[in-house]
Structure 1
Amino acid sequence: MRADDGVELVVRRSGSAADATLVQLSGGPGCVNYLPDLGPEAPVRALSPEPRGVGSSGGGPHGIARAMADLEDLRRTVGTERWLVLGHSFGADLALAYAVEYPGSVAGVLAVCGTGIQNDRDWKAAYEAGRAAEPAVDIEYDEAVHRSLTSSWRRWIKRPDLLARLSRLPVPVRFVLAGGDVRPSWPIEQLAALTPDGSLHRVPAVPHDFWHTHPGVWRRLVAEYLAVTAAGRGAGRPCR
């Protein structure tokens, strides 16, 4: 696809040709889109965009506003009015920001292993202390894109109206925590309590990158979320 500024962005497609659309946002920031494709039995059209400036996509370092504009360009390109947004790690944070800025475009959010809207020293210290114990996952990423998005994100979360907007967010959000993640969970627990249609789900005994280490658990999580949303029971209700 081409973004509104002419930059060519690469998007993988998987799943079925159903009416519903799911967009998958990977973490980093600045990583290639590492999230696994959905099988042909998935009841959605799943789109996995390669972030601007990363992998095969054109462009270069950019900020949060541009990342969200690229998502809007993709949504309009594929002709869907509202879609489900799945994000992992920084992708979960971006998914939430996108829902805040473009609530009319989002039918629901599945935010997996995000870090929340914080830049807290205690959180970072706890993460750094446990980081060496995490399973190693080799993911290609662009350092310049990482720096620009990180800097932009830290500015975006300081918006004076952000908490007020989150407290009125009209989008159902399911926040997912991995039981074996070394990242402190309190920022996500706070967000789940703050958002009006937010819920918290814990996946026991899996690390942060369980899409890689426990692919069966990841597939079941996504399949259950899609089944719940398809049944009209609400994207944000607790997963049992």
Structure 2
Amino acid sequence: MIISDGVRLAVRASGHPDGVPTLQLSGGPGCVHYLPDAPADAPVRLFAPEPRGVGASEGGTHDIARALADLEEIRRANGIEDWAVVGHSFGADLALAYAVERPRSIRGVIGACGTGVQHDRDWSAAYHARKDDDPSRVDIEYSPEVHRSLLTSWRSWIKEPSLLRRLSRLTVPVSFLVAGQDIRPSWPVEQLAQLIPGATLTALPDVPHDFWHSHPEVWTEQVSLASQF
């Protein structure tokens, strides 16, 4: 589809045509969309965009505000009043930012294996100490330039003075998933689950970070739960 500034974005649709409209966001930032399609009989209609400047999408480097504006244009172009959002890794973080900035567009969020709203040295040290030994690691195509621009913008966004107050007043239902075999420390997500009113936290003890790849049936099950929002 072509959005308002003339950039063509690649968006893949799957699942049941009459299912609950659901946006699926992969991570990175700046990765091609790597998450699996929904089965034809799933209770969701799944929309999977690639970020601008990545994979089959045109454009280039951009910030969080532009990323969220692109998602809004995709929603409106498909005639969707509001949709569920499912995100993995950085996609989970972006889904949360989407809920904060555009709450009326979202009926609920499922955030899997996110990193939370932090830029913490201890967290980074723990992650980098183990990342090369991660047995679940999947090599995924990405744009280094888009990765840098979005990560820089994200680290600015999470320092916004009123962010924690806005999170503590969020009315969008949020469900966090943490993978028991993830090498990434889960404490930032656990804190968010305590901060956001009504948020839930579910541990998936026997799966790794990239369980969408190693346990696709578990991923599909979690995506289907978006239909309950």
TM-score (norm 2): 0.97
- 2:21 aligns to what? 21
- Matches of residues 8-47 of structure 1 in structure 2 within 5 Å? 8-18=8-18, 20-47=20-47
Cα deviation for residue 138 of structure 1 reads: 1.6
Q: Distance in 2 between matches of 1:108 and 1:221?
A: 13
Structure 2: give runs of 5+ residues left out of the alignment. none
- 2:61 aligns to what? 61
Q: Distance in 1 between matches of 2:118 and 2:201?
A: 18
Q: Distance in 2 between matches of 1:62 and 1:197?
A: 32
- 1:172 aligns to what? 173
Amino acid corresponding to residue 222 of structure 2 in structure 1: L
- 2:94 aligns to what? 94
- Contact residue 24 and residue 86 of structure 2 kept, 8 A: yes
Three-state SS of the structure 1 residue aligned to 2:206 is: coil
- 2:188 aligns to what? 187
- 2:150 aligns to what? 149
**Larger relative CO (CA 8 A, sep 6+): 1 or 2?**
2
TM-score (norm 1): 0.93
Amino acid corresponding to residue 57 of structure 2 in structure 1: S
The structure 1 segments of at least 4 consecutive aligned residues displaced by more than 6 Å after TM superposition are none
- Matches of residues 73-152 of structure 1 in structure 2 within 5 Å? 73-134=73-134, 135-152=136-153
- 2:209 aligns to what? 208
Q: List per-residue Cα deviations over 1:92-126 (Å, max 9, x = no partner).
A: 00000000000000000000000000000000001
Q: Distance in 2 between matches of 1:99 and 1:71?
A: 12
- Contact residue 179 and residue 204 of structure 2 kept, 8 A: yes
Amino acid corresponding to residue 144 of structure 1 in structure 2: E
Q: Distance in 2 between matches of 1:65 and 1:219?
A: 29
Q: Distance in 2 between matches of 1:226 and 1:103?
A: 16
Three-state SS of the structure 2 residue aligned to 1:3 is: coil
Cα deviation for residue 216 of structure 1 reads: 1.8
Q: Distance in 1 between matches of 2:137 and 2:93?
A: 22
Q: Pick which of 46-55 and 13-22 moved more.
A: 13-22
Amino acid corresponding to residue 154 of structure 1 in structure 2: R
RMSD between aligned alpha carbons? Answer: 1.0
Aligned residues: 228
- Contact residue 87 and residue 110 of structure 2 kept, 8 A: yes
- Contact residue 25 and residue 33 of structure 2 kept, 8 A: yes
Amino acid corresponding to residue 218 of structure 2 in structure 1: V
Q: Distance in 2 between matches of 1:204 and 1:215?
A: 15
Q: Distance in 2 between matches of 1:214 and 1:48?
A: 19
Cα deviation for residue 19 of structure 1 reads: 5.2
Cα deviation for residue 4 of structure 1 reads: 1.8
Cα deviation for residue 220 of structure 1 reads: 2.1
Q: Distance in 2 between matches of 1:136 and 1:169?
A: 33
Q: List per-residue Cα deviations over 1:169-189 (Å, max 9, x = no partner).
A: 010000000000011111000
Structure 1: give runs of 5+ residues left out of the alignment. 230-234, 236-240
Q: Distance in 1 between matches of 2:143 and 2:166?
A: 31
Q: Distance in 1 between matches of 2:226 and 2:169?
A: 24
Counting aligned pairs with the same residue, the percent is 61
Q: Pick which of 70-79 and 209-218 moved more.
A: 209-218
Amino acid corresponding to residue 56 of structure 1 in structure 2: A
Q: Distance in 2 between matches of 1:198 and 1:136?
A: 28
Q: Distance in 1 between matches of 2:120 and 2:35?
A: 27
Amino acid corresponding to residue 131 of structure 1 in structure 2: K
- Contact residue 25 and residue 95 of structure 2 kept, 8 A: yes
